[in-house]
Chain A
Amino acid sequence: MNERPLRIVIAKAGLDGHDRGAKVIARALRDAGMEVIYTGLFQTPEQIVQTAVQEDADGIGLSILSGAHMTLFPLVVEQLQAQGAGDIVFFGGGTIPPDDAQRLRDLGVRAIFTPGAPLQDIVDFVRSECGKRRALVG
């Protein structure tokens, strides 16, 4: 059992200012005992992955409600590969139609949560998947 708590980056990308969901998730993960780094608004995919690498994060949660998810999620996946950080668990949420969510999962986004998703499901997912990553990476 690892002593250090899981560390998660919660990110907002592009021009989307809707930060209610991101902030609620950040607090829920923190209340569940994790360390949370909230990037603030208007980050580029490069910046988000850099933050995660520098902070030695176990996971990245990206929130997009502006409709730009099919552009920005794949760019983050690309950056994870480019920065040699493919082991970081990448998940996200927002106003994302079901078929887009499927395409994003096919691209390697581990989970997509849409409005109404229970916080407990998200916490459970992060604890389990990021916990596995931690067990492997140490």
Chain B
Amino acid sequence: MTPSASSGQALRQAQDRPQIIDRTSGLGAQPTPDFEEQRRHWEERSARGRRRRGPGSGAVDRTISDVPLKVAYDPSDVADLDPARDLAWPGAYPYTRGIHANGYRDRLWTMRQFAGFGTAAQTNARYHFLLAQGQHGLSVAFDMPTLMGYDSDAAQARGEVGKCGVAIDSLADMELLFDGIDMADITTSMTINGPACIALAQYVAAAEKKGIPRAKLGGTIQADILKEYIAQKEWIFPPRPHMRIIVDMIDFCTREMPKWNTISISGYHIREAGSTAAQELAFTLADGFAYVEACMAAGMDVDSFAPRLSFFFNSHIDFFEEIAKFRAARRIYARHMREKYGARNPRSWQLRFHTQTAGCSATAQQPENNIVRVAFEAMAAVLGGTQSLHTNSMDEVLALPTEKSVEIALRTQQVLAYETNVTNVVDPLGGSYYVEALTAEMERQAESYFAQIAEYGGVIEAIEAGFFQREIAEASYRYQRSIEAKERIVVGVNAFAKDEEAAEIELLKITEETERGQARAVQAVRQGRDGASVASSLDRLQAACRDPKDNLMPHLIDSVNAYCTEGEIVEAMAKVYGRYTETAVV
């Protein structure tokens, strides 16, 4: 059959049938009703539905953070939005739509699972496993004594060694932690704040012992002490000397570690402590600006250090609110960095961030459900344009995660990255009436908090007055009450619960032998080193603590190289700085 014969036949058949007159092109069509008339129709239908639904139907008209929501959003909600001013294009100021012109097409986010438990040798084995599974970078979780500046054999450490993370007492442990891992090839994130300067010194020293110069080290260290006073409560010294330590670290890294992200300014813990999304956003950015101001006050040029500042946010379960929060964060940061702090380098305007799914949204009841929550939260982070992501494991609400549950969490990211296609288009929710309105609302609430913090005289003054702590405690209690009243449903907790004692999932347990073994190990380190260089390096460190002009970092590297333990170094510094105690706010 030839093509012309075939089409002639088809034409004849069509002529025999009743005709359909297509008016969709507009000519002769019904007139389109006026948009406002359409609105009135919709409002009537919506009101009828609301009457039928009646009170107490469980319908929630607020976000999880108590932001009032409309039933539907329309162009009037974004009437004030100026696309050129407020959105621009991906990769352009004010970066609402992301910091990269091509989003994830050029570069996927970094899949980075936070891990650490027991001894350095045990965690080292977990790192080898994670790298073999395709993870891109390492993320060190330290145990409580390490985070609070105590050695594993200290009285304060009893029961805590290796429980929440890995115990690192001295350079010897840090060397063991990275045994067999090419520190020039991977990036490492270290979640530690009070003693961050010591952990950084240990990391540099461990790499240099392998022959890798500090300039080649990539990664980040949290070192965000302000949110410790606000939410996480792992401080050592009072706020002002702690700020000096952070400024010294940023200054040192800026000069000597060009690939290192100097600080990870964190909202994660603020949110976990019970804040709203807007509080997380506002308090975190306020902390960030406080570090910028402290570095500038110490004489640093904003464009010398700002490109290496990074952020860390929580991704909670209220999907669109989280996406709006991430978008607002970039816009607010860019505006303040350019307009208030006078940064001229575009990299100084770009807010880069890591995200972790919300531990506090996980439930002990039916823990497998947490896999699903994590998947939604991870997608919100990706639609919000995160640079790296940690997905929580389903069993973290009960104990440290097992290898199996960590693998599922990592696979969740891989499915998101390679199967869902959400990575193909940059900022896919940009222009959504709802998401744009919520983004603007987040920015408005954050600016209002900045004004309140300024009234206290700044972040440190607001901490001392208990402002953040009170705001968070209020929000957290309000949220808990809404769960109790079943205004909000948590599956498996206040609805769809099952009568079972607890899930039968395998849990990872850290034994008491870990604590005894680690205590013996740190004692062996103390016995095997040169006592004279320990004493002299600590003397020089103390002298530097008294002299604000002398950067602490080189002295800290000397001390860790002499195998001074973390507890000894903290003790020496506390003799100059004192220790912080909080007035508890309920």
Contacts and interface: CB of A to CB of B under 8 A. Distances in A.
A107 interface: no
B232 interface: yes
B584 A15 contact: no
Nearest to B472: A20
Interface stretch (B305-313, B394-402, B533-541): B394-402
B477 interface: yes
Interface in B479-526: 480-481, 484, 490, 492-494, 501-502, 507, 509-510
A98 B163 contact: no
A95 B159 contact: no
Interface string B353-372: 00000001011110000000
A82 interface: no
Interface string A10-27: 000011111110011011
B476 A20 contact: yes
A24 B476 contact: yes
A81 interface: no
A116 B159 CA distance: 25
A40 interface: yes
Contacts of A26: 586
A70 B156 CA distance: 15
A67 interface: yes
Interface majority SS on B: helix, strand, loop or mixed? Answer: loop
A119 B484 contact: yes
Contacts of A118: 484, 494
Nearest to B157: A15
A128 interface: no
B471 interface: no
Contact of A116 (B274, B493, B582): B493
B484 A120 contact: yes
B294 interface: no
B160 A67 contact: yes
B484 A115 contact: no
Nearest to B484: A119
A116 B507 contact: no
Contacts, number: 105
A115 B397 contact: yes
Contacts of A71: 158-160
Interface majority SS on A: helix, strand, loop or mixed? Answer: loop
A24 B584 CA distance: 13
Interface residues of B, number: 47
B159 to A, nearest CB: 3
A41 B502 contact: no
Contacts of A66: 144, 160, 163-164
A70 B159 contact: yes
A23 B476 contact: yes
A17 B232 CA distance: 6
B148 A95 contact: no
Contact of A19 (B233, B365, B490, B509): B233
A41 B131 CA distance: 37
B272 interface: yes
Contacts of A28: 477, 480
B165 to A, nearest CB: 10
B507 A97 contact: yes
Interface in A99-138: 114-116, 118-120
Interface in A57-81: 66-68, 70-72
B151 interface: no
B399 A67 contact: yes
Given A41-B584, A118-B494, A15 B150 contact: yes
A116 B144 contact: no
Contact of B363 (A19, A23, A70, A116): A116
B94 interface: no
A95 B398 contact: yes
B233 A72 contact: no
7 contacts: A14-B156, A14-B160, A40-B584, A41-B233, A67-B400, A67-B510, A116-B492
Given A115-B364, A119-B481, 5 more contacts: A15-B148, A15-B150, A39-B584, A66-B164, A119-B484
